[in-house]
Amino acid sequence: MSEMRKETLVIVGSGPAAWTAAIYAARADLQPLVYEGSFSRTMVPGGQLMFTTEIENYPGFPEGVTGQKMMMDFKAQAERFGTRVVTEDIVRVDFAVRPFRLWSGGGSEVEARAVILATGANARWIGLPNEERLAQSGGGVSACAVCDGALPFFRDRVIAVVGGGDSAMEDALYMTKFASEVVVIHRRDELRASHIMQQRALESDRIRFEWNTIVTDVLGDDEITGLRLRDTLTGEERELEVGGLFVAIGHTPNTGFLGDQVKLKDNGYVATPVPWRTATSVAGVFAAGDVMDDYYRQAVSAAGTGCMAALEAERWLAHGADDD
């Protein structure tokens, strides 16, 4: 068995929050070790931005940038200052001991004086093969209207939004600024969204609703051309021509590996007890990005919390961390 790694700071994740935390930590001479995750069907190192073809709302990129390019540049900048990277998942942790212990899917074990959790969240998808393919290829399927909706691709088209909660209503209302029409597809005959969000969407003359309806297929080769729908009451199927699809049925934070080692919110996101701080319920363990942010879920806000987590970790380590 190889000798256990003994580290000052371990960062788990590889999206904007993780790489920003690594940049700040490395420049502070904390010699961070990043477990960037492994490749799977729904996640790759770099997180959700690896499935985003064009980013136009991140400051500093006036011509836009692909999600893949942005994440490669974030990683390269972190490595420039000495960040080390392991392309494995962390599958188990023990935060009840000091130093903390973490185990990877590759069988390695590491000790860390401080840990930053930045594993993000997975958008929930309908689960259709062509939905996933077009989402990854930039073919007009997305899980984030605020991220992608303003792109030229979606302008002046009929856009479908799947969902019935606040996120779906927010996406639908946002898309009324760009689409010729927004069609909300919901499996029930009433919405789950808050009253105010329902009212705004129902009163919009740019939004219409397809009630008691589910999507059974996403149509199109290089880009989406339509949806196959099924009426949940009658079973009748039909096709709807659309030029874009936003799936807004929620997100699942990547916290399964944590067990009960840190306090989570009721919705599964990591809790940060003090407002505007990244410290978790365990002293020396910090959280950044979408794994703790169930509200904004943007690349720029994730990067900001990554900075915050690194600064908090640095200060905690400098002020008697081992005596905590």
Q: How many domains would you assign to the chain?
A: 2
At residue 1 the predicted structure's pLDDT band, cuts being 50, 70 and 90, is: very low
CB atoms inside a 10 Å sphere around CB 133:
14
Report whether the peptide linkage leading into residue 45 is cis, meaning its omega lies within 30 degrees of zero: no
Name which residue leads in pLDDT, 57 or 317: 317
Per residue in 211-241, pLDDT tens?
999 999 999 999 999 999 999 999 999 999 9
Per residue in 245-299, pLDDT tens?
999 998 899 999 999 999 999 999 999 999 999 999 999 999 999 999 998 889 9
Domain termination residue (choose one: 230, 247, 264): 247
At residue 29 the predicted structure's pLDDT band, cuts being 50, 70 and 90, is: very high
Q: Which two tokens stand for residue 236?
A: 């009748």
Domain with residue 290: its CATH number is 3.50.50.60
Catalytic residues: 144, 147-148
Domain termination residue (choose one: 247, 275, 307): 247
Domain termination residue (choose one: 195, 227, 247): 247
Q: CA-to-CA distance for 28 and 88, rounded, in angstroms?
A: 25
Which domain does 112 fall in, by range? 5-122+251-323
183 and 282 assigned to the same domain: no
Q: Which two tokens stand for residue 180?
A: 């010729």
153 and 238 assigned to the same domain: yes
87 and 178 assigned to the same domain: no
Dihedral of the alpha carbons of 46, 50, 54, 60, in degrees to the nearest 10: 10
Which of 66-80, 135-149, 177-191 has the weakest average pLDDT? 135-149
| Percentage with pLDDT > 90 across the chain | 82
61 and 27 assigned to the same domain: yes
At residue 167 the predicted structure's pLDDT band, cuts being 50, 70 and 90, is: confident
131 and 241 assigned to the same domain: yes
- Residue 64: which region, alpha, beta or left (left: phi > 0; alpha: psi -120 to 50)? left
Q: pTM to 2 decimals?
A: 0.80
Average pLDDT over residues 127-152: 91
Asked if residue 2 has pLDDT above 80, the reply is no
